[in-house]
Structure 1
Amino acid sequence: MKKLFAKDQENRKTVKKLELEHFILKQISTNSNFLRTTRWNALYKLSIMQKKSSKTLISNRCIRTINKKTFNKFTSFSRTVFLKLVKSGYISGMRKSSW
């Protein structure tokens, strides 16, 4: 589990580091005001960039259980961990409701 979490954190760091460069190259390659050779060079640099710089490699995971299937994007916890925290009173203002 720790290995998955460390790998995910490393992927996030590389994506964050290369995000600006990727954005600039993408804008240059799609802008028709630049010369054709400049646009081609930007496309070439985009193609040889690391595959780890892709945002699709990042997966949202629970902070405690490193589970990615039941991840809640609003709380960064999985559903079960969130319910346990609410029941134990660590999250104030929330309580379990039944219907």
Structure 2
Amino acid sequence: MKALLEKDKNLRLNISKIENKHFVLKLIIKNFNLFILIRWNAFLRLNLLTKSKSKISTTNRCLSSYNKKRFNKLTGFSRHVFLKKIRSGEINGLRKSSW
């Protein structure tokens, strides 16, 4: 499980670096005050960036169990871990209701 956490951390760090490069290259391409050659080179570099390491291709995982199924985006935990934390009282203001 620790290896998954390290792998996910490195992947998100690489994605943030690639997103920054993508943002800068897009700004250069859209700036019409620059020479055409500079804008064209920025366009070529933008096409060379990897599409597989985009922000969309990452999977969200639970913070404690590293499970990617039944993940809740609002809390960052999976459904089972979230219910355990509610029952134990670790999350303030929430209580597991019983009928």
Query: If the TM-score is normalised by the length of the shorter chain, which range does it land in?
Result: 0.7 to 0.9
**Shift in CA distance, 52/2, structure 1 to aligned 2, threshold 3 Å:** farther
**Aligned residue number for residue 82 of structure 2:** 82
Q: Deviations over 1:4-38 (max 9, x none)?
A: 22211101111223322210101222344433222
**Aligned residue number for residue 71 of structure 1:** 71
Higher helix share: 1
Cα distance in 2 between the residues matched to 1:5 and 1:51: 22
Secondary structure class of the residue paired with 1:9: helix
1:70 offset after TM fit, Å?
Answer: 1.0
Cα distance in 1 between the residues matched to 2:36 and 2:56: 29
Q: Could you tell me the percent identity over the aligned residues? A: 49
**Aligned residue number for residue 95 of structure 2:** 95
Q: Please tell me the residue identity of whatever aligns with 1:79.
A: R
Q: Deviations over 1:21-68 (max 9, x none)?
A: 210101222344433222211111112234565212322110111111
Is 1:59 equivalent to 2:32 in the alignment?
Answer: no
Task: Write out aligned runs for 1:1-99 (5 A).
Answer: 1-51=1-51, 53-98=53-98
TM-score, normalised relative to structure 2: 0.81
CA RMSD of aligned residues (A): 2.1
Cα distance in 1 between the residues matched to 2:26 and 2:83: 42
Question: Would the aligned equivalents of 1:63 and 1:76 in 2 still touch at CA under 8 Å?
Answer: yes
Cα distance in 2 between the residues matched to 1:5 and 1:76: 14
Cα distance in 2 between the residues matched to 1:50 and 1:67: 26
Cα distance in 1 between the residues matched to 2:58 and 2:30: 25
Structure 2 unaligned regions, length at least 5: none
TM-score, normalised relative to structure 1: 0.81
Q: Please tell me the residue identity of whatever aligns with 2:58.
A: I
